[in-house]
Chains A and B, each alone.
Chain A
Amino acid sequence: MSQFYAVLAAILCGMALIGLFQTEDLLRRILALNVLASAVFLLLVTVARSAEGIDPVPHVMVLTGIVVAVSTTAAALALVIRANEARRRREEEP
């Protein structure tokens, strides 16, 4: 089953990379980055499973990684919103 989820993580990773580079929309890029992060987390947790037991260290890395991912998402979204407002104000001015 571990191999199965490793392959799933690889496919998701490739899809997210393609989505990241294909689009010009900033919001879509943030989504792609989040999918990429999820794929990497999936790979880490897959690696943590083995017949001898479950390694808690990758689990901890993923747990902190999720919180860091939401922080980066929030910061990037705030930047996108502010940039968009600045552009709109510039266009409204003559």
Chain B
Amino acid sequence: MRLLAWGFDLLLAAGLLWLAWQALFTPRRFSAVVNFMAFYLLMALVWVRLDAPDIALAEAAIGAGVTGALLLTALGRLPAGTSTGADPRRWQRPLQILAMAGAAMAALWLAWAAYQLPRPGLAAEVTAALDATGVSHGVTAVLLNLRAFDTFLEIVIMLAAVVLVWSLGPPLRAFAPATALPGLPALSHLLHPLFLLVPAYLLWRGTHAPGGAFPAGAVMGAGGVLLLLTDAAPWIYLRRHRLLLHLLLSSGMALFLAVALGGMLMTGTFFAIPLHLAPTLIMAVEVATGLSIALMLMAFYLLGEPGQ
């Protein structure tokens, strides 16, 4: 059985390296993007092998799904062309080899330095503090209670990226597939209930098992991208829904901030949640964050501010 596991690891590593090589150095852009999406799917398998199911869920939905959709849209809007590396002049070659060797050495050194870090990190501390957080799953506890400030800033970064993307101009409509077949609308009709059911399940699971706001938001965001692709969300382009859209986009950040300030009023510490309120509050923040993340992923896909 051990031998089988080793074989699987080796196969996974070889596949990852091959796909990364193809994504980085193959001449055709389209095959680079497709190889890159497959790379993310294999990464999700690696996360499962490394006992990180939360990350695997988020990676499968965000990495392979949303990033892939964004890259394919960009590919459709950029001029077709094959562009590999720059052709180096003769005198540049030794320099280039030197730079590559330097990069490889730096990467190996980084891995070595990271590997020398003291183990087991903060596992014991987190387990000890778990009773005071109101949830029983370590990752969710750290994400929404122990290090909630980091998560809050992460939401702010995402909102800043939305502001940047939207400040560039009016939205670019997605290219709908040039077909009269009812396949795509039928698929989205069939899947929409599931795109609500699965995130709800993931949110509920997040308090005691792998799941939570990030995978839920990612799955819902993927459903939202499908909505935009089938042109089933015309309301998002309307001018009179602009304010509502802005409010929904910032709801995660707003609720996070409200909880933090409320904690400061009640206990005197920023981001301190009283234990008897913690399960409810964490659930509320998770729902708002998940919705915000889903809507922000949709907002990226619009590539411009709607309703102008």
Contacts and interface: CB of A to CB of B under 8 A. Distances in A.
Task: Say whether A and B bind each other.
Answer: yes
B172 interface: yes
A67 B168 CA distance: 21
B20 A63 contact: no
Given A35-B20, A66-B59, A60 B86 contact: no
B299 to A, nearest CB: 9
Majority-rule SS of B interface residues: helix
Given A12-B17, A17-B106, A74 B55 contact: no
A56 B214 contact: no
Contacts of B51: 49, 54
Interface of B: 9, 13, 16-17, 20-21, 23-25, 29, 32-33, 36, 39-40, 43, 46-47, 50-52, 54-55, 58-59, 62-63, 66-67, 70-71, 73-75, 77-79, 83-86, 99-100, 103-104, 106-108, 110-112, 114-115, 117, 119-124, 126-127, 138-139, 141-143, 147, 150-151, 154, 157-158, 161-162, 164-165, 168-169, 172, 214, 218, 293, 296-297, 300-301, 303-304
B103 A47 contact: no
A4 B21 CA distance: 19
A77 B84 CA distance: 18
B67 A34 contact: yes
B214 A63 contact: yes
Given A53-B123, A71-B157, A80-B74, A19 B107 contact: no
Contacts of B75: 27
Nearest to A62: B55
A53 B75 CA distance: 43
Given A23-B24, A50-B123, A70-B67, 9 more contacts: A8-B16, A9-B111, A10-B107, A10-B111, A35-B20, A38-B39, A55-B121, A56-B142, A80-B78
Main secondary structure of the interface of A (DSSP, over half): helix
Nearest to A40: B110
A90 to B, nearest CB: 14
A49 B114 contact: no
Given A17-B103, A56-B138, A28 B24 contact: yes
Nearest to B158: A71
Interface string A31-75: 110110011011111111111111111111111101111111111
Contacts of A5: 9, 13, 46, 50
Contact of A74 (B70, B106, B122): B70
Contacts of A10: 107-108, 110-112
